[in-house]
Chains A and B, each alone.
Chain A
Amino acid sequence: MKSFIPREVETLWTLFTAPTVWALHFVVCYATVAVFCAKGLSSEISFDTVRIGLGVVTVLALAMIVLSAWLAWRQWGFGSDDPPHDEATRNARTLFQGFATLLLSGLSFVAVLYMAIPMIFIAECQS
């Protein structure tokens, strides 16, 4: 894993990885079910197939968020230093970004889970 994950991450991109994963997961879930129901595909594919497919997407999304959280945790120095990290130094900036990314990852993880809960209970398409 170390071979392709850089040791030092110093970019803003990591900050919104987790929210982006959540947004993509959200769009994929909604669009899939909407298209599936609107096109009347239920005669060819069962709804449970869609459910399982979206379950796999959910697991992948959660895995990416966990990876992002792990990177953030590492950037934060595994909690070696306490917030608020408000000194005007490069180190404080790195730690601040790491901590913020970690919190956003937690939020995104919960958001993806909550998004997945209704998919367990949706019965079928209603025209």
Chain B
Amino acid sequence: MCRAFRPNVWLTADGAMGACRMDDDRLTGAGRPIRSGRDIGRDGISSSDRPAIRATSFIPLLLPLLASCSGVQSALDPAGREASDVAKLFFVMLIGGVVIWAGVVGLLFHAARKRRPYSERRAGQLILWGGAVFPTVILAALLSYAVWLMPNIRPWFGEDVGLRRVEVTGEQFWWRVRYIEEGGAVAFETANEVRVPIGERVVFLLNSPDVIHSFWIPVLGGKMDMIPGRENRLTLEAEKPGTYRGVCAEFCGASHALMAFTVHAMEPEAYEAWVAARRNAPGGQDQEGLALFLRHGCGACHAISGTEARGTIGPDLTAFGERGSVGAGVLPNGKEHVARFIRDPGQVKPEARMPHFSMLEEAEIDRIATYLKGLR
């Protein structure tokens, strides 16, 4: 019966299909069920008869999975100071866990192969030192390391210390982003896109008008909740320029998983140039598209700076053509996707507040989509 699952191991020394070893007691180690290849060779079976495939041959197949550790939304591929410490903490804990796991499995094998049991006194000592003292010391060390690292992961700089401030509001299901001037006034608003200069700490003022959301840019740092009725502060510092992805990390409704934003970490000069450009956005040259946009009432909810559209219910659409996506990370930013969203937002994004506009003529929807895509 037991021959059925490990044929090679259970052959007896003379090669006959003998009785299988009934004294297989892996806990007392009375038998020696776990054998090396050398033992098998000694038993009269040449090792070339063994299957050539080893478990280790499959390891290269797992390597592509490592690629999923990098990317625009990976906490293990940090681009910011806080995220580096989060990744460091993760790897220290991982290595600590692996070492403990290897030790426990090693003990298991030791127990399985040991011929003579320990005396009761030695077993008691092993339990006391290996089972109580050792984990206590290791846990104390890991805990100390984690709390020692905590001020780095979530640095605190007091209320007004002249750091650049960006107010981010979590809405169902998009992000309102306001850049705050030194005096505290709103310089300009945008949506579903956060831009930060590299090498400089930025304070995010986080809040929500509806339900609890959570603001998370994995490559820049840990997440923080956005709670109705209070303002949370999160300080992040980007170090590597690039385009990353942020997400909502607290379930907030039907389209919670469709609520992402683009993060641009920019060189300081490029950032300043962008801020200056955004301060005096002209509103686009396409007067016909704008007229159509206003005629169908889009301006009641959306604002485009430099135009009469000043709605604040939905996302600000100034410079929409530069955005990384349509519908807060749902679709790539292309004209056909904009048109599809206008036609029926609920179909792309369940429970989105925007009503459908499928009653408009196709040509008009396309024209508005072209206008929006052209906004810089």
Contacts and interface: CB of A to CB of B under 8 A. Distances in A.
Q: Is the interface of A mostly helix, strand, loop or mixed?
A: helix
B156 A114 contact: no
A106 B150 CA distance: 28
B148 interface: yes
Q: Is the interface of B mostly helix, strand, loop or mixed?
A: helix
B140 A114 contact: yes
B361 interface: no
Interface stretch (A4-12, A44-52, A65-73, A119-127): A119-127
B237 to A, nearest CB: 17
A117 B143 CA distance: 8
Given A114-B143, A126-B156, A127-B159, A121 B136 contact: no
Nearest to B157: A126
Nearest to A127: B159
Given A106-B132, A126-B156, A127-B159, A121 B140 contact: no
A89 B269 CA distance: 84
A24 interface: no
A50 B151 CA distance: 18
A123 B156 contact: yes
A108 B330 CA distance: 51
Contact of B144 (A117, A122, A123): A117
Contacts of A41: none
A114 B151 CA distance: 18
Contacts of A106: 132
Interface string B122-153: 00000000001000100110011001101100
Given A114-B143, A117-B144, A123 B136 contact: no
Contacts of A122: 147
Given A106-B132, A110-B136, A114-B140, A121 B148 contact: yes
Interface in A93-127: 106, 110, 113-114, 117-118, 120-124, 126-127
B156 A121 contact: no
Contacts of B156: 123-124, 126
Interface residues of A, number: 13
B131 to A, nearest CB: 12
A117 B140 contact: yes
A113 B159 CA distance: 33
Interface in A28-66: none
A4 to B, nearest CB: 32
Nearest to B150: A121
A122 B150 CA distance: 9
B132 A117 contact: no
A123 B151 contact: yes
Contacts of A118: 147
Nearest to A109: B136
A106 B136 CA distance: 11
B85 to A, nearest CB: 14
Given A113-B140, A114-B140, A127-B159, A121 B147 contact: yes
Interface in B62-116: none
A72 to B, nearest CB: 16
A118 B144 CA distance: 7
A127 B132 CA distance: 39
15 contacts: A110-B136, A113-B140, A114-B139, A117-B143, A117-B147, A120-B144, A120-B147, A121-B147, A121-B148, A121-B150, A121-B151, A123-B151, A124-B156, A126-B156, A127-B159
Given A121-B148, A123-B151, 17 more contacts: A110-B136, A113-B140, A114-B143, A117-B140, A117-B143, A117-B144, A117-B147, A118-B147, A120-B144, A120-B147, A121-B147, A121-B150, A121-B151, A122-B147, A124-B156, A126-B156, A127-B159
The 3 closest A-B pairs by CB, nearest first: A121-B147, A118-B147, A123-B151
